[in-house]
């Protein structure tokens, strides 16, 4: 039986991880004797089993597809370079439908039936929070790809990490950008009261904006599934707000933006990383033109040029920031296993995660005591139907 692990820095030999080093990894370090039959079978396997829980159907299937593609690109690169500890990565994908009621079944299947070595996923914070106790109870490393609610790691325990920044950071950065860069003092907020993500980030935005000297002049709360926002927008029109802050998924934001235009509301829009899908533009059209949002990366940055070229060649479409996060998450898991010298000893892999400080995929990853990466926040803007880099704001 594995022992529960406190998140402390353990002494584990670190190895630099890049594509070229995978080919030189030794299989000898991957084999350790386990006291359980399942672990013994897994250790003898010539593959590393990575389980993924993603929103492949439901309300945001394009984000799920972007994540799957990003993960597959990383897997193909690593396998072509020799794998992890001489083993090829075998991915198993499960669909959570972007529903917290479905996510537990997906991760349970991966852990109990598929016997995966690690779980990566998912997008919605509510779905990740529904999975963390299952991962923790089974002592299986889980790396959330795109779930930004702070509770994912705060309440998840020692085996839970993530590749993305957290909502308190992006909510604070968004408020700072509105007040200092956009130069506004009056903001209206509109968010889904049924989503932990929306509620949490709105709370942080409000606290930060008012602490800077700004005023939240309107706060509208709608329910998941609502499609008519004109009553809220009419009230906002009379509120004197200079900016409308809407931290919700791209499909909802596209509808809100179109209705903003339909009622003739002259206001700038600001949002969060859940806007970061090309489908924001296909849904919102010119109604989202000029809008700003916090994001994990700028796809057009020189640093991501190689990744973007590889992705578009492989899949025939542009990546999103969630493609990048999934890509990086695979490299993070591979680095931890390589540094730990095992793909099945979860305690050793978690210790290696706590010591990680190296480039994994596109970004250097180092985790704090809760398992959150120390990362900067990007501000992107919709310009001529594309996402353009505006600025990068450092964490802290």
Instruction: Look up the pTM and report it.
Output: 0.85
Place of tokens 């349970």: 108
CATH homologous superfamily, domain 168-295 = Response regulator (3.40.50.2300)
pLDDT of residue 6: 33
Mean of per-residue pLDDT scores for the chain: 90
Between 3.40.50.2300, 3.20.20.10, 2.60.40.10, 3.40.47.10, what CATH number should domain 19-165+301-375 receive? 3.40.50.2300
pLDDT in tens, 159-178: 999 999 999 999 999 999 99
pLDDT of residue 177: 97
DSSP H helices, the chain, are 19-22, 37-44, 61-80, 103-108, 125-137, 151-154, 167-176, 196-212, 230-237, 250-262, 279-284, 305-315, 321-340, 346-355
Place of tokens 């994001």: 295
pLDDT of residue 35: 32
Q: Is the pLDDT of residue 368 over 90?
A: yes
Token pair for 322: 């969630």
- φ/ψ of 271, rounded to 5, equals -145, -160
pLDDT of residue 22: 38
pLDDT in tens, 320-338: 999 999 999 999 999 999 9
Question: What gap in Å lies between CA 203 and CA 219, rounded to an integer?
Answer: 11
Question: What gap in Å lies between CA 267 and CA 236, rounded to an integer?
Answer: 9
Lowest mean pLDDT among 66-70, 102-106, 196-200, 282-286: 196-200
Within the chain, all domains assigned CATH 3.40.50.2300 are found at 19-165+301-375, 168-295
**Which residue has better confidence, 89 or 15?**
89
pLDDT-based confidence at 45, cuts 50/70/90? confident
């Amino acid at each position: 039986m594995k022992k529960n692990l406190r998140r402390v820095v353990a002494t584990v030999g670190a190895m630099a991880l890049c594509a070229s080093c995978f080919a030189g990894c030794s299989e000898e370090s991957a084999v350790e004797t386990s006291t359980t039959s399942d672990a013994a079978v897994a250790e003898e396997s010539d593959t590393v089993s990575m389980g993924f829980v993603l929103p492949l159907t439901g309300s945001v299937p394009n984000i799920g597809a972007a994540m799957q593609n990003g993960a597959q690109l990383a897997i193909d690169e690593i396998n072509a370079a020799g794998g992890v500890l001489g083993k090829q990565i075998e991915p198993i994908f499960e669909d959570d439908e972007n529903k917290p009621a479905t996510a537990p079944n997906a991760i349970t299947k991966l852990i109990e039936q598929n016997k995966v070595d690690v779980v990566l996923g998912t997008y919605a914070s509510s779905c990740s929070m529904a999975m963390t106790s299952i991962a923790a109870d089974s002592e299986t490393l889980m790396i959330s790809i795109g779930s930004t609610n702070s509770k994912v790691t705060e309440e998840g325990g020692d085996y839970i990490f993530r590749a993305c920044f957290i909502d308190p950071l992006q909510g604070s950065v968004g408020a700072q950008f509105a007040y200092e860069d956009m130069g506004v003092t009056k903001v209206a907020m509109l968010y889904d009261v049924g989503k932990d993500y929306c509620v949490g980030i709105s709370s942080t935005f409000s606290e930060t904006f008012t602490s800077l000297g700004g005023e939240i002049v309107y706060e509208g709360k709608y329910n998941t599934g609502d499609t008519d926002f004109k009553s809220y927008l009419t009230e906002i029109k009379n509120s004197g707000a200079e900016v409308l802050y809407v931290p919700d998924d791209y499909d909802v934001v596209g509808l809100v933006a179109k209705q903003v235009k339909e009622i003739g509301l002259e206001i700038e829009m600001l949002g969060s990383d859940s806007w970061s899908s090309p489908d924001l533009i296909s849904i919102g059209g010119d109604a989202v033109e000029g809008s700003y949002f916090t994001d994990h990366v700028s796809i057009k940055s020189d640093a991501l040029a190689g990744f973007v070229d590889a992705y578009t060649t492989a899949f025939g479409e542009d990546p999103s920031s969630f493609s990048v996060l999934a890509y990086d998450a695979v490299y993070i898991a591979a680095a931890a296993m390589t540094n730990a010298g095992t793909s099945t000893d979860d305690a050793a892999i978690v210790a290696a995660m706590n010591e990680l400080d190296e480039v994994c995929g596109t970004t250097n990853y180092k985790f704090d005591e809760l398992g959150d990466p120390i990362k900067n926040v990007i501000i992107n803007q919709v310009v001529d139907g594309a996402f353009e880099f505006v600025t990068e704001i450092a964490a802290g």
